Structure 1
Amino acid sequence: MSNSLTVALIQTSLVWENPEANRINLEKKVNTIESADLIILPEMFTSGFTMNASSVAEIMDGNTINWLKQLADKKQIAIVGSLVITENNNYYNRLVFVEPSGTITHYDKKHTFTLAGEHKVYTAGTEKVTLNYKGWKICSLVCYDLRFPVWARNTEDYDLLLYVANWPKIRTNAWDALLKARAIENMAYCIGVNRVGLDGNNYEYSGHSAAYDVLGHRMDSIPENKEAIEIVTLEKEHITKYREKLGFLKDRDVFNLKA
């Protein structure tokens, strides 16, 4: 168990529908990180946000998963991001959290982005996943999930809520506002990692990756519209201090989600 968690945010451009090129690019970036506990990659980091799932889909024992396991072991750092996975004749926008030990926890994006037709290609997940890594409770979600606060509500007393994304520049204002809100309302650290550059559909992404503390204060200085790597350190004492002092989570509403 660790009282602090050092997290590296990788804000990067992505090569359209080219897993091998993206792995090469990302490995170079990961290798520049000397010390961290967790590395966060964007959504669909092997392909960009494509609806052409069949051209980039992999299996859970495929090239990218094995690459992640080897990289996590080599660096002794956990790595999280999402990619296209095919399983049981379905396609999933699947977030994978790969630990140095080789343990993999996965979450299938629940809120598929209907505006882009994601629901027609990818099967939506049904289970929220919270894992324990180095004594930190972490809830990992994907992009469009950010717009749905009930799904993210901190009923598990998690310490860190993170989002991996391909969130377009045209709706950056919502991204900024909602990330900050998720931190404040859940009294947890909230980190969002978004891509930059143009995708194969000519949509532009400006990044705006960010880390917020439990009071909604910005912790990073990541530039917009540029590739960047930033490392932030989260402290358990910060969470405990303000949850005990303010007690907002004790007054949260009790509810049950129905499919």
Structure 2
Amino acid sequence: MNISLLGKNALVGGSSGGIGKAIAIQLAESGASVTLMSRSADKLEKIVADLPIDKGQNHAFLVVDFSNYEEYKRTITNFFATNSIDILINNTQGPAAGNALEKNVADYQQAFNLLFKTVVLTTTLALEQMQKNKWGRIINVASVSVKEPLSYLALSNSIRAAVVTWAKSLATDVGKDNITVNSILTGYFDTERITQLNAKKAEQLGIPQKEVRSEMESKVPAKRIGNPNEYGYLAAFLASEKAAYITGIQIPIDGGLLKSL
């Protein structure tokens, strides 16, 4: 099956590394022109320079700080004043780890701004042209923790669940416009985020970090941590015409980690 995104413009959040970078690469390899977003201009510049342009793609990057909502609002609003996109990948860095007893109202508000308000704002801005074009793809990078909460990720559990239920509602509203809205429930992937979380857990438990990783791998039926490239393949499929009848769903990509249906 050939996945072609020729002529499509994509905006990919959190794409200076990890899952976001892998998605951006796969979208570009499928023919899309990709605009990357993150805080690191140096990393983004290098990635853009390496993206394929053999299908006439025109790549770019946008320096944003998802953790500063007002600043992000100004930047992304200015972007959409002169640009339109066909494919939106809503992805940001995760909030700080910690259980529910360690977090206060201010922490939840900050996580809400980071994970929810930025997603709704960006999507709202992107939808205007998508609805005019009668074509669009909105893909939210979420987590398996929205179905089976992880005790050490109280902020992420809570706010990502809100994103997923919002996405389900939005899918109903824009389905008539040939716009799909789907969420990917992320399991364990070999990224900087996993390394940071494992380091904190190892410190708390007083055990080597490699032991934490081994325990993580043992919980996955596939007995390994996912490669970000595998994530990119799923995102490219959902962004394509091949997935036109798939909308309003939450797709786990977790090596079988989730035990619930």
TM-score class normalised by the smaller sequence:
0.3 to 0.5
Q: TM-score, normalised by structure 2?
A: 0.36
Q: TM-score, normalised by structure 1?
A: 0.36
Normalized per residue, which structure has more strand? 1
Larger Rg: 2
Normalized per residue, which structure has more helix? 2
